[in-house]
Chain A
Amino acid sequence: MKVLVPVKRVVDYNVKVRVKSDGSGVDIANVKMSMNPFDEIAIEEAVRLKEKGVVTEVIAVSCGVTQCQETLRTAMAIGADRAILIETDAELQPLAVAKLLKALVDKEQPGLVILGKQAIDDDCNQTGQMLAALTGMPQGTFASKVELTADSVAVTREVDGGLETVKLTLPAVITTDLRLNEPRYVTLPNIMKAKKKQMDVIKPADLGVDVAPRIKTLKVEEPPKRSAGIKVADVAALVDKLKNEAKVIG
């Protein structure tokens, strides 16, 4: 069984982004970019399934600018067998990405698609569900455990209030939550090996997909700043402030 793993190049999670003063967006020139953390978990899960012998090939795919190749090399260093870059400079929104991935699913016929549950830049949490809808596949979102058999997959999902398990017929779409696994560190030999692995570059037009954005961003602003707080000397002072100044406790 083939597994397709979409990965996204995003601003590194440790970077505190700055909003541009003209309100057109956030400043991502010269900031560190990395693979979206949830996507690392997705690759790791696919590679583990391959190591267990239930999966034969892991294909990493990314949509976006030329530099996404680095993200795909990382995916191959973790253990993906080959990579596909759908290259475009256009702004891609989740619906467009889902359509691009749908076209690729039609071509590659994977038994399973594993995505991260959300990208930490747009915080949308949509692409996996949209891909499932477009391909008619069932979905197992926010997965913290995946048990794959020949024709079905049991997915334990992190939901409000606890866990829930659903059983899906294959092919299926899974999106990863943080608790699914601990991604491995890439080693130098594997980085070198990844450079030799196959990477195909195609364009959205090759897949016949219109990627025009549906949502227009009018402006991007800083969130309201919190007024500076104070440090209190001891517990008694804290209780006094909470009771008499903030009036949040009786």
Chain B
Amino acid sequence: MTALVIAEHDNAHIKGATLNTVTAALATGADVHVLVAGFNAAAAAAAAAQIAGVAKVLHADAAALENGLAENLAAQVLAIASGYTHILFPATASGKNVAPRVAALLDVAQLSDVTKVISADTFERPIYAGNAIATVQSGDAVKILTVRTTGFDAAAATGGSAAVEVVAAAADSGKSSFAGREVTKNDRPELTAAKVIVSGGRALGSNEKFMEVLTPLADKLGAALGASRAAVDAGYAPNDWQVGQTGKIVAPQLYIACGISGAIQHLAGMKDSKVIVAINKDAEAPIFSVADYGLEADLFVAVPELVKSL
């Protein structure tokens, strides 16, 4: 058995989610190869070769692969897919975009957001916004998975010494092109990888208040900032800060929910956090049912006080 992990990278560095995916691939008991498909991505391929547990790195390099367009990346995976028993992607925006396309082209089903590998063909995944855990078995010859990164530890980024093999790049599909990117500026730890997350909801009232109240706390704790859908919809925080069923899934050591009521869809994204703190003035808010420590207080008073006492 050999598993292929599709690396997520920015052509220079391997993204953290790839490391968790390698751990999941190793858990199937297979030899693990990593595909680095990009443009001028030799540095990323070299970094992938350092990952502990990786047996081989396949490096495809072409301009058409620069931005990870689904059409081209899927064709690239397909070109080298024969012989692999498992093909794994991180369950990130990029992995979710490409994995089902590869699965359909191979005429196999795909397993989304796998949180546990039970055996080479049996896996656990959450359904209904994390309110149920399904154990599923794939009867297909090739198992195509996206891996929920918070379900697996990151493989060590160093210590490996895989060979890098250059493979032929797939041709450009010509059906799609990359037109631009607008990156949210963020000096903080990445939300999905942060040890501590400070998250705000609708109760913050405005973008100014959101930043004014929560930023000092996040600074003090070295935390990433998150938000509920209500806060994002109201424009208090950017979209990619959204934690929940349709946003990011996080599982930090400490999650501090400020002014978040705790709707099912939000809990789906954060209830695997180790310690959850809720600060809310509504004693009936559902967030208190999952919080390890609940503080019933006005967050505009409590949060600054918390910052002061840290």
Contact = CB atoms under 8 A, between A and B. Distances in A.
Contacts of A19: 131-132
Interface in A149-179: 154, 157-169, 172, 177-179
7 contacts: A129-B100, A129-B101, A130-B100, A166-B178, A226-B271, A230-B293, A231-B296
Interface string B273-310: 01111000000000010111111110000100110011
Main secondary structure of the interface of B (DSSP, over half): mixed
B264 interface: yes
Given A26-B127, A161-B240, 19 more contacts: A98-B104, A123-B126, A130-B100, A133-B102, A139-B176, A160-B94, A162-B238, A215-B137, A217-B136, A219-B134, A221-B133, A222-B132, A223-B130, A223-B131, A226-B271, A229-B292, A231-B296, A242-B293, A246-B274
Contacts of A17: 128, 131-132
Contacts, number: 251
Interface in B103-122: 103-105, 107-113, 122
A52 interface: no
Interface in A3-55: 11, 13-14, 16-17, 19, 26, 38
B229 interface: yes
Given A13-B265, A165-B181, A230-B293, A121 B276 contact: no
Nearest to A102: B104
B170 to A, nearest CB: 14
B132 A133 contact: no
Nearest to A226: B290
A211 B113 CA distance: 23
Interface in A96-151: 98, 117-118, 120-134, 136-142, 144
B71 interface: yes
Main secondary structure of the interface of A (DSSP, over half): mixed
A162 B93 contact: no
B294 A231 contact: yes
B239 interface: yes
Nearest to A28: B128
A238 B184 CA distance: 32
A235 B302 contact: yes
Contact of B246 (A168, A178, A214): A178
Interface in B156-180: 173-180
Contact of B245 (A14, A120, A159, A172): A120
Interface residues of A, number: 81
B104 A129 contact: yes
Contacts of A222: 132-133
A216 B248 CA distance: 27
A93 interface: yes
A221 B113 CA distance: 16
A188 interface: no
B74 interface: yes
B139 interface: yes
Given A121-B128, A124-B112, A178-B229, A249 B293 contact: no
B282 to A, nearest CB: 13
Given A130-B101, A161-B184, A220-B132, A239 B306 contact: yes
B135 interface: yes
Give the most central of A127, A133, A177, A236: most B CB within 10 Å. Answer: A133
A230 B290 CA distance: 10
A27 to B, nearest CB: 10
B74 A133 contact: yes
A142 B183 CA distance: 16
Contacts of A213: 109
